[in-house]
Structure 1
Amino acid sequence: MTEVLPSRTTEPVELAIGGMTCAACAARVERKLNKLDGVAATVNYATEHATVTLTAPVPMARLIAQVEGAGYTAREIERGDRADGRDRLRSLWRRLVVALLAGVPLADLSITLALVPSLRFPGWQWVLLALTLPVVTWCAWPFHAKALRAARHGTGSMDTLVSLGIIAAAGWSIYTMFGRSGGAHAQGVWGLILQPAGSSYLDVAAGVTIFVLAGRMFEARAKHTAGTALRALAEMGARDVVVLGDDGAEHRVPIARLRVGDRFVVRPGDTVATDGVVVSGACAVDTSAMTGESVPVEVMAGDAVVGGTVALGGRLVVRAEKVGADTQLAQLVRLVERAQSDKAAVQRLADRIAGVFVPVVIALAVATLGGWLLGGVPVERAVSCGLAVLIIACPCALGLATPTALLVASGRGAQLGVFIKGHQALESARAIDTVVLDKTGTVTTGRMAVAGIQVADGVSRATVLGHAGAVENASEHGVARAIADLARAELGTLADVEDFRALSGLGVRGRVGGQEVRVGTVRLMRAEGVAIPDALEQTRADWEARGRTTVAVAIGDEVAGVLALADTVRPGAADAVAELHALGLRTVMLTGDNAATARAVAAEIGIGEVIAEVLPADKADVIARLRADGRTVAMVGDGVNDGPALAGADLGMALVTGTDVAVGACDLILMRTDLAVVPAAVRLARATLKTIRGNLRWAFGYNIAALPLAAAGLLNPLIAAAAMALSSLFVVSNSLRLRHFEHSGEARARG
């Protein structure tokens, strides 16, 4: 029975595409897939993957058949299936070794016989031919095979150019050696530079094969190296796990058998098998592989742990909350893979150009040959010019310019705790001039603690704390947890609450012991018509002037007390803001908290502009207003109330400690709690875009400059082959420099 894939938009199908050799191939596969109804595909030449988003049910066999119809191979990529290209590297290496063993003596002998014709011996042509044939047949077979496959489908690729060049050079050489009086040879060094070995191009055929094989091998090795960070990320997970049975017995089982709700044991030095909650035990956990933070995190019963982190000491018993593809590690791996399959608008333009490049180059080569012949030059010189045009024109550099840079950047970003969702995030990061930071949970730790309680005359502290704690116990807000935790610590058990209701941005309300209880901001009290006694109002104002958050507690129709809560600023927040300013960015604090508290926190870390007391629904309006004023805005947040603002900003950055809504709405996911990751993300994005622009300038400039030189007869075909291989190697090597990117925190630590 044919498997019919359901339509989906959040989990695209991933296909491994075989046989692609240039951007033209990727463009061709992409066009073929997108011709299917309900299919939106993106094909990445650097990763050799196709990401297919389905808007209607499509059989997997239909997708594969469509790719094969374009002359390539395809297979579905299962989770965890990440080929690293070692087999291809070994095959290229074997062919390159044989080509070198035969090609080097061929070149030496051919040049020697060209310079000193008197050294020719009987049967010298056969010796040259014997050295050439293994190179232009077996060693060059991958080029010929792919060119034939493309020709059967009426298309062409970079291999078409290479194969035609090799065949033309070898064929013309055989004809001149055996059909033109033994083959006249041009003499002199200049003749060798412009027209090597005179009218014999056997060394050119072998040289082209060697240079292209070498270029492909170095390109494959560089791509393998570029993907090291992603493979390391994917391999961080545990292979097996010690599950704790109901009888307390321990059983080691493969990780695939772990289920949600299972309890498993983590011993010192073990990798935490999956996302879960600590049931018992306490120890320090090394989260550096996931977040880039070097300081271990202490965890104990009730704390959440993430799969892929490492326990440093002590024994933990953890209850599995997420397994398999639902874990944070698996989601982040898919996120990086998805980002590496993304394309910039400029790269799509390059792909379209590469798609028509091959037929244009073939036509140019034929025109060059004809033009030189019509100009009355010798046939040998005309053939040399036509060959140079065929060989020099390599669209590989165009296809590699963007994806290799993104491949390296996304892997390096993952090591630093910055996960890039797509290329659009990088393009947005280039232009941002304003960074808007949420306060609670972003600039501050978000772990509020009650710093003071003031009660009205005739009301006890226990009454205020008990009623407030009972209502807040039903809420998950940081302020609510702080009040409920203190009430539980001082009073023990908390009363039940009825008719609980959260009032977004204002507070909560409910009934405790038959009394209406409201806990929230002054705005809530005023909206409800509840007056605050003067003494409490004065205390509240003093607390807020000192940067504390205050909430009022109304029991019935009277305010019975006010509570002050303090939230500590994240370590390094001031340094991060200073670095953002050094990057030329304007910073703004956006918060629903009161203005005095927000200004106090902003002053502590160096932010001069504060927009406070903003309701969650209005945060997106603030972002829209900033953009309407001509600013290009990045938003950094972590909560549910930040989701619309993150989605509405030009660049959304969410702390992974935040909610799923915030993470889902952002463009960059920040794994570190240290805010230094924010300027690091901006700097990485800018460095990546600079690399991409440099790659594309080189790729376009190389072809624009090289083709006229080749057509004018100023490029030896052998030099053209070397230049073509070096062009792609330059682009990949330039992208690999991003592996050494480091953020300021790393630089300071190293210094």
Structure 2
Amino acid sequence: MTTRQAPAQGVEQEHRVVELSIQGMTCASCVGRVERKLGKLDGVEASVNLPLESAVVRVPATVSDQDLIDTVVATGYGAHVVHPDHPDGDEHDHTPSLLGARLVLAAVLSVPVLLISMVPALQFANWGWVVFALSLPVVTWSAWPFHRAAVINARHFSSTMDTLVSIGVTAAFLFSAGQLFADPTLTQHAGMAGMDMTEHSLYFEVAAVVVTFLLLGRFLEASAKQRAGDALKSLLSLGAKEAHVLRTVDGERTEVTLPADALIPGDAFVVRPGEKIATDGTVTEGHSAVDTALLTGESIPVEVGPGDAVTGATINTSGRLVVRATRVGSDTVLSQMGRLVSQAQSGKARIARLADRISAVFVPVVLGIAVLTFVLWLVLTGDLDAAFTASVTVLVIACPCALGLATPTALLTGTGRGAQLGILIRGPQVLEDTRTVDTIVLDKTGTVTTGTMAVVDVVALAAVPAPDLLRLAGAVESASEHPIAQAVARHAGGPLPETRAFSSAPGGGVRGEVDGVVVTVGRADWLERHGIRTSEAQATRFTAAEDAGRTAIWVAVGDDVAGLITLSDTVKDGSAAAIARLRRLGLRPVLLTGDNRAVALQVAAAVGIDAADVRAGVSPEGKVDAVRELQAGGATVAMAGDGVNDAAALAQADLGIAMGSGTDVAIEAADLTVMGNSLEQVAQAIELSRRTLRTIKGNLFWAFFYNAVGIPVAALGLLNPMLAGAAMAASSVLVVANSLRLRSFGR
């Protein structure tokens, strides 16, 4: 069971979220009934998903899990509590299997029924009784799911699409049986000889073939829904099954193989080349490249070493690693992804509410139309057979299967495909938000750029040669944890000489003794604090470097300035292509950064952002103000960022997009999360969201169009009931097949 604490809105009590597996739902009307019944419990909010056959229910402490189950059972459906990390795969697999058995029996028996009834040359003496016997198992056992659901709904004075199917099939069979029993000699002659077709008609073939077509449609739907849910199942099965945990025995470290779910935070475990990392953790020993494609969708392995964080289910490609577990079980990134995907698939977009509202009144209206059709045909023509045929056809063709499947199948497939690509859509409402977004604000550092400083140039301004200058600066900087200091030390290489008498100041610089000389590295005011002054010519060189969009630091040896080192944050590969793709999607990119304007303009020029759309020198609070300013100007704003200082702006934006390489707080504040660190994935996420929404709209259009056209045609008597059953099944399969096209997105 999933139990997540969340503050209730406007209520003084805690709520939890429970996921239920629900059996027996067949259409949008079923979904609406379950939601309404659960919603009548005090403080309960429910969102029911038809393809997943599940409900996500927000429950106060006063309502137990058993209360929820009892309510669903009283509504006419089965239910039990499940854990989202362990989907009911076996149960869902059983559904297509049982439907398949019913379908096979119906098909085997319906074919001879159809041929005997429709081809006079195949008819023999008393063939009607044979057709009656062959049809009986089809309209009883094969059609049992329709009848059972109709009876359960009738007990609650309600109706669903199963009501339409059950009434139509039962009416056709009983009408035919009544004709045959009233006149046992009706089919005593071979062929049509002796049978007065103006007074009597048998519809056994209609009842049998309609059941077969509807079962075929439902079987294909169940199979398609099962395939659409495979993305989530495969995601949750990515984790390693075992871990090689290090234990100290008699003073020696030994490896003990344990199930991965037995790990606890603090355990150290070994990951050999080619093995999956068992859980989230931090590397303590070794260097390697880790393939993160399973979670992020990025094909290039990431280099890791001591101190680097790694994620469970990713693959160690080369060296041996020792990892200390930091998050296990349901706290891991993989489990969090599974929960996000499951919650998104179980939610409802605003557009889906329209289908639900229509479905709630659709079936009673159709029943009324069927009765009215029968009465009008009988009154206007006096033809009982024609009246019966038209009314049954209305019942059959009106089944709103496609309407109920239009939204959830597209949502299920789209979010599942997103998970495979490392894109997490927090909820279905996000799809509609992406449609209206016209401006995207991009945080520079870590989003457009790598966020890692790199040395661009070493400029010698005195007698100390540039290589020696870099070596001295690298030695003293190696004692600092500042990103700029680490970039200089990394560029200097090694081994570096020892530094003595080290001192530093945050935002100022570092100072220490190297090879008998004092080396001072940092900003101008740091040098001045130690009595070192720069000349006007040197200051001009420094200013020119910063105006070029680089970060510059002074290096002094002894009491004199010896040179300067320039650094820059490198633009990520693919950022320029991603910006171009965002523009093609109709979005205006805006660059937001705390760096100086020269640096920001240089990055903007490199990736194709207009200078007028650059906001530089912006504080974390200023990022929120920048988003609000754009919104006040009429823009609908998306914000992409990866740091703690981006969280407030992500929450303020109409659509927040977190880079998965960033912080947990940024991801929590966002609507969309891309698990990689490529800006290209941001564009891909927006495109996938919009494609999924277009698929939902297309599905709804065809579902409405089908019913709007089919019902009048059936009422006018222009459609055979068998063709109506085939058309109804085909419409459902068409909707599901259209949704499954999303599985090819990004390929």
**CA distance in 2 between partners of 1:438 and 1:534 (Å):** 35
Q: How far does residue 39 in structure 1 lie from its aligned partner after superposition?
A: 1.5
Gap change, CA 1:356 and 1:491, over 3 Å in 2: farther
SS in structure 1 opposite 2:367? helix
Q: How far does residue 280 in structure 1 lie from its aligned partner after superposition?
A: 1.6
Q: Is the 8 A contact 2:85 2:338 kept in 1?
A: no
> Pairwise mapping of residues 342-741 of structure 1 onto structure 2 (< 5 A)?
342-449=347-454, 473=481, 478-479=483-484, 482=487, 538-550=540-552, 564-609=566-611, 610-741=614-745
Q: Is the 8 A contact 2:276 2:316 kept in 1?
A: yes
Q: Cα RMSD between the aligned structures?
A: 3.8
For 2:219, the aligned partner's letter is M
For 1:569, the aligned partner's letter is V
Partner of 1:244: 246
Partner of 1:154: 157
Q: Which runs of 5+ in 2 are unaligned?
A: 9-14, 463-468, 513-520, 528-532
Q: How far does residue 264 in structure 1 lie from its aligned partner after superposition?
A: 1.2
For 2:69, the aligned partner's letter is I
Residue 88, structure 1, aligned to residue 91, structure 2: no
Q: Is the 8 A contact 1:4 1:58 kept in 2?
A: no
For 1:440, the aligned partner's letter is T
Partner of 2:517: none
Residue 171, structure 1, aligned to residue 178, structure 2: no
**CA distance in 2 between partners of 1:494 and 1:366 (Å):** 97
Q: Is the 8 A contact 1:110 1:197 kept in 2?
A: no
Q: How far does residue 465 in structure 1 lie from its aligned partner after superposition?
A: 9.0
**CA distance in 2 between partners of 1:330 and 1:5 (Å):** 14
For 1:166, the aligned partner's letter is V
Partner of 2:515: none
Identify which of 327, 332, 336 aligns with 2:332: 327
Identity %: 49
Q: How far does residue 89 in structure 1 lie from its aligned partner after superposition?
A: 0.9
**CA distance in 2 between partners of 1:572 and 1:159 (Å):** 52
SS in structure 2 opposite 1:447? strand
Gap change, CA 1:34 and 1:542, over 3 Å in 2: same
SS in structure 2 opposite 1:568? strand
Q: TM-score scaled to structure 2, two decimals?
A: 0.86
Q: How far does residue 532 in structure 1 lie from its aligned partner after superposition?
A: 9.6
**CA distance in 1 between partners of 2:436 and 2:523 (Å):** 38
Partner of 2:516: none
For 2:116, the aligned partner's letter is L
Gap change, CA 1:523 and 1:359, over 3 Å in 2: farther
Partner of 1:109: 116
SS in structure 1 opposite 2:253? coil
Partner of 2:138: 135
Q: How far does residue 561 in structure 1 lie from its aligned partner after superposition?
A: 11
**CA distance in 2 between partners of 1:639 and 1:532 (Å):** 36
Identify which of 236, 260, 269 aligns with 2:274: 269
Q: Is the 8 A contact 1:5 1:57 kept in 2?
A: no
Q: How far does residue 541 in structure 1 lie from its aligned partner after superposition?
A: 2.3
Q: Is the 8 A contact 1:47 1:341 kept in 2?
A: yes
**CA distance in 1 between partners of 2:204 and 2:508 (Å):** 85
For 2:110, the aligned partner's letter is G
For 2:169, the aligned partner's letter is I
Q: How far does residue 207 in structure 1 lie from its aligned partner after superposition?
A: 1.0
Q: Is the 8 A contact 2:502 2:510 kept in 1?
A: no
* Deviations, residues 480-523 of structure 1 (Å, cap 9, x unaligned): 7657989998676798999x99xxxxx589999xxxxxx99999
**CA distance in 2 between partners of 1:542 and 1:60 (Å):** 68
Residue 35, structure 1, aligned to residue 24, structure 2: no
Partner of 1:232: 234
Gap change, CA 1:560 and 1:594, over 3 Å in 2: farther
**CA distance in 2 between partners of 1:533 and 1:41 (Å):** 71
Q: How far does residue 731 in structure 1 lie from its aligned partner after superposition?
A: 0.5
**CA distance in 2 between partners of 1:508 and 1:329 (Å):** 41
Gap change, CA 1:714 and 1:543, over 3 Å in 2: same
SS in structure 2 opposite 1:676? helix
Q: Is the 8 A contact 2:47 2:347 kept in 1?
A: yes
Q: Which runs of 5+ in 1 are unaligned?
A: 190-194, 502-506, 513-518, 526-530, 747-751
Q: Is the 8 A contact 1:388 1:717 kept in 2?
A: yes
Q: TM-score scaled to structure 1, two decimals?
A: 0.86
Q: Is the 8 A contact 1:264 1:317 kept in 2?
A: yes
**CA distance in 1 between partners of 2:525 and 2:182 (Å):** 99
